Structure 1
Amino acid sequence: MVSTSTANISRGLAKQPVREPTPQEKSLLFTAGQLLLRDCMGKRGFEYVPIKENPVSEAREFRYVLTDLTWAQKHGYGSDIQRELTKIRKTDPNQLYFRSLPAKRRAVALTAVNGSNPLNVTAKAPDGVVLRRSAEGCQSEVYRTLYGNLEEWFQATVTDDALAELRYGRVTADPRFSKAIKPWATCMRAAGHPYASPTHLRTALRPSQRPLPRKEEIGLAVDEVRCAVNSGFAQTTRALDRHYAQKLRQEYHSAVDTRRRLQLAALERARSIVDIGAAKS
Structure 2
Amino acid sequence: MWISAVVAAGVLLSGCGAGPAPAEPDASARPISTGGGIIPEPFAAVLATVDEHARDRHDRVEAETVRCMAAQGFTYTPLPFWQREQRFQRFGDIEHASRYGFGLSPEEDRRGRQDSLPDDTAKLSSQEKEAWFRALLGDMDSPNRIRIEHRDGSVSEGPGEGCDIESQQALYGDYRAWRVAQVSFEELDHLVRQGTDSDPAWQRALADWRSCMTDAGYARYATDSRVEASELLSEEHRRGRVYEPDTVVPVDPADAKHEREVAVASATCEKKLGMADTYARVQAVHEKKVSETEQGVITGYLELVVTGTAKAGGEVEASPSTA
The match for 2:210 is: 185
Q: Match for 1:93 among 114, 117, 130?
A: 117
Looking at structure 1, the residues matched to 106 and 202 of structure 2 have their Cα atoms a distance apart, in angstroms, of 29
The match for 2:30 is: none
Contact 2:145/2:161, CA 8 A, preserved across alignment: no
Root mean square deviation, CA, Å: 3.2
1:13-48 deviations in Å (ceiling 9; x for gaps): 9x9368731532234323433333344344441332
Contact 1:188/1:223, CA 8 A, preserved across alignment: yes
Report the number of matched residues: 253
Distance 1:84 1:183, change over 3 A: same
Distance 1:73 1:30, change over 3 A: farther
The match for 2:56 is: 28
The question of 1:218 aligning with 2:260 is answered yes
Q: Match for 1:50 among 79, 97, 109?
A: 79
1:35-94 deviations in Å (ceiling 9; x for gaps): 333443444413323223139xxx65345x5554444344333344374212535x4316
Superposition pairs of residues 94-113 of structure 1, within 5 angstroms: 103-113=126-136
Superposition pairs of residues 134-149 of structure 1, within 5 angstroms: 134-149=159-174
Distance 1:129 1:37, change over 3 A: same
Distance 1:229 1:27, change over 3 A: farther
Distance 1:148 1:60, change over 3 A: closer
Question: Per-residue deviation at 1:167?
Answer: 2.2
Paired AA for residue 247 in structure 1: K
The match for 2:249 is: 209
The question of 1:76 aligning with 2:101 is answered yes
Question: Per-residue deviation at 1:132?
Answer: 3.8
TM-score, length basis structure 2: 0.66
Paired AA for residue 114 in structure 1: L
The question of 1:247 aligning with 2:289 is answered yes
* Structure 1: 5+ residue stretches without partners: 1-12, 273-281
Question: Per-residue deviation at 1:203?
Answer: 2.1
Question: Per-residue deviation at 1:179?
Answer: 1.2
Contact 2:92/2:269, CA 8 A, preserved across alignment: no
The match for 1:119 is: 144
The structure whose residues are more often helix, as a share, is 1
* Structure 2: 5+ residue stretches without partners: 1-6, 13-44, 239-247, 315-323
Highest RCO, 1 vs 2 (Cα 8 Å, sep ≥ 6) = 2
Looking at structure 2, the residues matched to 221 and 231 of structure 1 have their Cα atoms a distance apart, in angstroms, of 15
